[in-house]
Structure 1
């Protein structure tokens, strides 16, 4: 279910962009897929100001699309998705080493 949600979110947010966003999915011992997470990454509900204060400036800020505005901030290891000014999801880039 989580992987379908991530795929749907990726396709919606990528709408017409050259490269869709991809998330690494781990299969946990209980058999349920979980999104890859880093020890330190923005979490759902944080504001843009909180993300800037804690994680610094992103390497890239993409233009908001749609209504309500969905904004993407790209960091070296992950991309943060905001709805309006709140984090709705953080996607770890493929190939990033995850802590055990």
Structure 2
């Protein structure tokens, strides 16, 4: 049981890294630092979008319009940190 919880914690941490990478890439594309016509950038962009967008979309629907500022990645990261904290504090000590 403990090994499964450790894998879940690792997967959640990896997902946080993917969210941060997606946010950074979106800034780089918005400021024309990287070009989405490049095949490598487009493949990374589509991968990150496919992985993060299904989870971020419901959060964006619940949030009010903030005028071009998207705080849904921050809210998702905070939610993941909360879940990790719950696992570490309440499930890991019980799992032998």
Fold conserved between structures, TM > 0.5: no
TM-score by length of 2: 0.31
- Structure exhibiting the larger radius of gyration computed from Cα positions: 2
Compare the two structures and name the one with the higher helix fraction: 2
